[in-house]
Amino acid sequence: MTHRSRLAGFIIDCKDAPIEESARFWSAALGFTIDDPNEGGEGKYAVLGGTPSDLHIEVQRVDHDSRVHLDIETDDIEAEVARLLALGAREVSRPHDARWVVMQAPTGQRFCVVRMKQPGKGATPNVWRAGD
Amino acid sequence: MTHRSRLAGFIIDCKDAPIEESARFWSAALGFTIDDPNEGGEGKYAVLGGTPSDLHIEVQRVDHDSRVHLDIETDDIEAEVARLLALGAREVSRPHDARWVVMQAPTGQRFCVVRMKQPGKGATPNVWRAGD
């Protein structure tokens, strides 16, 4: 059995700030476009565009302290979580009907494992065999 | 007058952990190689390789809490700092003989402005005119 994963991109978590203002700063700072100023219509997510290798770079409004977190995307969330657990990460939570898994690296950073949406775009995914 | 900048990549700051262990986890998790396990020979920096669009992704041993921070690289640090100040960021410090500038976004994240090393590699830099 094999599965695939890769760095999806990173999420810029912004505490309590209006998503439009946060997206405006980060798109201007990094020189990216705002592809979707309000993804999902909840005032929580803004997607940046024109990113290197089609990395998914998103600004999010959050309740916790501001930070940057990485997303790993995969075509098999359970296999990828198992692989990362074996590397020393731990599972933190499965929010939003378990659509993604929040994990914590042994070095302390939170990151998310999410479903791969466009395997044909961006960098070639890594292929892992069970036991890798 | 114009200057150039772009997202250089991101730095995975790891509190108090041996750099070899931190680099091993993150290279395996993200599927990147370890290009330099101990850049500078201080046990502080490990450079990952095979990254999308040649983004500079580095693992660092730090004293502060673990986090991920973004680097913006530029061919004119003063002009880029001025541009980011005008966008609402603030300057935090100029460590290591002012070789780079630590800034804080209005949304709270720390990031660094560093010198662009290889403008011909990776994504096309953004070109800014004074007053942009």
Per residue in B48-88, pLDDT (tens digit) is 999 999 999 999 999 999 999 999 999 999 999 999 999 99
Residue pLDDT tens, chain A, 132 long? 899 999 999 999 999 999 999 999 999 999 999 999 999 999 999 999 999 999 999 999 999 999 999 999 999 999 999 999 999 999 999 988 778 999 999 999 999 999 999 888 999 999 999 766
Q: What pLDDT score was predicted for residue A132? A: 66
**Shortest alpha-carbon distance between residue A97 and chain B (Å):** 24
Place of tokens 């002009």: B79
| Residue among A123, A87, A117, A127 at smallest CA distance from A103 | A87
Answer whether B72 sits within 8 Å of A30, measured CB to CB.
yes
ipTM: 0.95
Which conformational region is residue B49 in: left (phi greater than 0), alpha (psi within -120 to 50 degrees), or beta? beta
Residues of B at the A interface (Cβ-Cβ below 8 Å)?
A: 5-7, 10, 12, 14-15, 17, 21-22, 25-26, 28-32, 51-53, 55, 59, 65-70, 72, 84, 87-89, 105-109, 111, 122-123, 126
Residue B122 has pLDDT above 70, yes or no: yes
Retrieve residue B74's tokens.
């530029």
Separation CA A25–CA B106 (nearest Å)? 8
pTM exceeds 0.90, yes or no: yes
Separation CA B56–CA A118 (nearest Å)? 23
Q: What pLDDT score was predicted for residue B132? A: 67
Pairing relationship of beta strands B90-93 and B33-39 according to DSSP bridges: unpaired
Separation CA B39–CA B78 (nearest Å)? 26
Q: What pLDDT score was predicted for residue A2? A: 96
B10-49 pLDDT tens trace? 999 999 999 999 999 999 999 999 999 999 999 999 999 9
Residue B2 has pLDDT above 90, yes or no: yes
Q: What pLDDT score was predicted for residue A22? A: 97
Q: Which among A52, A108, A126 has the least Cβ separation from residue B15? A: A108
Q: Which among A30, A68, A84 has the least Cβ separation from residue B69? A: A68
Separation CA B88–CA B81 (nearest Å)? 11
